[in-house]
Structure 1
């Protein structure tokens, strides 16, 4: 942890330390997106506002993840979770209000991010560096939004 605190960009890359979880760092690393999205919603940011913030955080995340990866000397290390935070924030921007909707969004995101169905896996294997780290999670987020849209149409 001291290593992270001495490198603020790596601290962000590790999701404020959540990526240090000994098991399922991606799952723990996704958690900071929940209060962040809740705070943005409480401050009056709507779906489009949060989407713009997610886009800006994506661009910043390319740099953060690339820097963290180079500092570690390990390609796409599992503890780098800034990508999970940003992608989950994008998902929550368009998730209907309600506890169970957020639970469903979280579970679906973790499922798509872990399983990496095509084309997520294809991009994950071929696009590297900070952009590659960020890209596969954004694609997983788009899959989640598609599934959530279908579920919304069925239950609404």
Structure 2
């Protein structure tokens, strides 16, 4: 199945492909992360516990979305599946300071951890399969980027 065809016809694939951002011919993960920013700009005004609930629901939903789309396409962790990048970025930005500088720093930190995949991210990426496997490495990359962002906010700036 051609992902480009299914993304515009199947709402599960549309979400898993980050509202179509995962169809970018180069660096779909980066484009997926960019597509997550406008949602964060809305979520940042939620009470913290509501933003946390959005992240939790998005993670659980993401396991299912990614699993289903992966099965339908017959490709485990197709590069165009970027819902995991959405969630990873939102985790990064949980309780982030306000301002565009922090949006950009969070973006850069998340992309670094998502691409570099230091341990245990690399271990999880290789050993956990299915929808959970697609999601978990980005969730942990988001946690690493969250901690880094908070440390920078607290001590460096």
Shorter-chain TM-score: what band? Answer: over 0.9
The residue aligned with 1:141 is 142
**CA-CA distance at 1:132 after TM superposition:** 0.8
The residue aligned with 1:40 is 43
TM-score by length of 1: 0.94
The secondary structure found in structure 1 opposite 2:93 is helix
Cα separation, 1, equivalents of 2:9 and 2:40 = 27
Deviations 1:57-78 (A, max 9, x none): 1101100000010011011111
Q: How does 1:30-69 map to 2 (within 5 A)?
A: 30-41=33-44, 44-69=45-70
The residue aligned with 1:24 is 27
The residue aligned with 1:98 is 99
**CA-CA distance at 1:153 after TM superposition:** 2.0
Cα separation, 2, equivalents of 1:103 and 1:85 = 15
Cα separation, 1, equivalents of 2:93 and 2:148 = 13
Cα separation, 2, equivalents of 1:56 and 1:145 = 18
**CA-CA distance at 1:154 after TM superposition:** 1.3
Cα separation, 2, equivalents of 1:115 and 1:140 = 9
Deviant stretches of 4+, over 2 Å: none
Deviations 1:14-54 (A, max 9, x none): 0011001011000001122211111223xx41232111111
Cα separation, 1, equivalents of 2:128 and 2:52 = 23
Cα separation, 1, equivalents of 2:113 and 2:130 = 21
Cα separation, 1, equivalents of 2:49 and 2:156 = 24
Where does structure 2 lack aligned partners over 5 or more consecutive residues? none
RMSD between aligned alpha carbons? 1.2
The residue aligned with 1:79 is 80
TM-score by length of 2: 0.93
